[in-house]
């Protein structure tokens, strides 16, 4: 009887492609083989109970935390290197320092690995970066600055001028301590030394 039903269903699906027909036939065969007994429901309940018993910890226990799996970045690195190789990047040797200017901050690479593909307008700088303020490295970096960084220099000059009056007062006080004191009118070092000798002679 099931075979007759399968043939009928196959005839109704002839308009569809062969794959759908085969899937439909397989589905009908599986349904015909599965028993429709009341024990099927009971078996499912037993399975659920068994699955509950396997659980780590009882009711109300703390959930087990999922361990974080740390992925290594080597796969990303390899993918990046293969893409760069495809672009045709060439290494540029003997570069001691790379500075990337960003507002009033400089990202500085010391002895980086620099690669470039001028045709693809691509520059790759790899190394350990250090983020510094422009004013911290200004004296050594002035020779590196081009005309496009004139705005940054103007901003820095304005900042130094604003800081100079407040710092100038404190610096003036410190300078007073470092200067040689003025001599009192009429006194010389020789006269002061003679007076000191007289006082010592009288005391002894």
Tens-digit pLDDT profile for residues 124-149: 999 999 998 877 777 777 777 777 76
Q: Which residues pair with 117 in a beta bridge?
A: 122
Q: Count CB atoms within 10 A of the CB of residue 50.
A: 9
Predicted pLDDT at 124 = 92
pLDDT (0 to 100) of residue 42 = 64
- Domains of the chain by range and CATH? 1-35 (no CATH), 80-155 (2.20.70.30)
What's residue 111's pLDDT?
A: 93
Query: What's the pLDDT at 89?
Result: 92
- E-strand stretches of the chain: 90-92, 97-102, 105-110, 113-117, 122-126, 129-133
Of 143, 135, 156, 153, nearest in space to 96 by CA = 143
- On whether the CB atoms of residues 92 and 115 are closer than 8 A, the answer is yes
Say if residues 95 and 116 touch (Cβ distance below 8 Å): no
């Amino acid at each position: 009887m099931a075979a007759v039903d399968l043939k009928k269903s196959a005839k109704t699906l002839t308009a569809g492609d062969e794959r759908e027909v085969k899937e439909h036939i397989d589905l009908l065969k599986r349904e015909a083989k599965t028993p429709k007994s009341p024990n099927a429901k009971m078996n499912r309940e037993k399975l659920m109970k068994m699955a509950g018993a396997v659980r780590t910890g009882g009711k109300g226990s703390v959930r087990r935390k999922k361990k974080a799996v740390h992925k290594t970045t080597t796969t990303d690195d390899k993918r990046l290197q293969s893409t760069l190789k495809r672009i045709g990047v060439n290494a540029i040797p003997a570069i001691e320092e790379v500075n990337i200017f960003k507002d009033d901050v400089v990202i500085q690479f010391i002895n980086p690995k620099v690669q470039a593909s001028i045709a693809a307008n691509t520059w790759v700088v790899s190394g350990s970066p250090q983020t510094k303020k422009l004013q911290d490295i200004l004296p050594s970096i002035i020779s590196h600055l081009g005309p496009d960084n004139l705005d940054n220099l103007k901003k820095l000059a304005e900042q130094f001028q604003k800081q100079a009056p407040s710092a100038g007062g404190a610096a003036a006080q410190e300078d007073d301590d470092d200067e040689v004191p003025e001599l009192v009118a009429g006194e010389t070092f020789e006269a002061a030394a003679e007076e000191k000798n007289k006082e010592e002679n009288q005391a002894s």
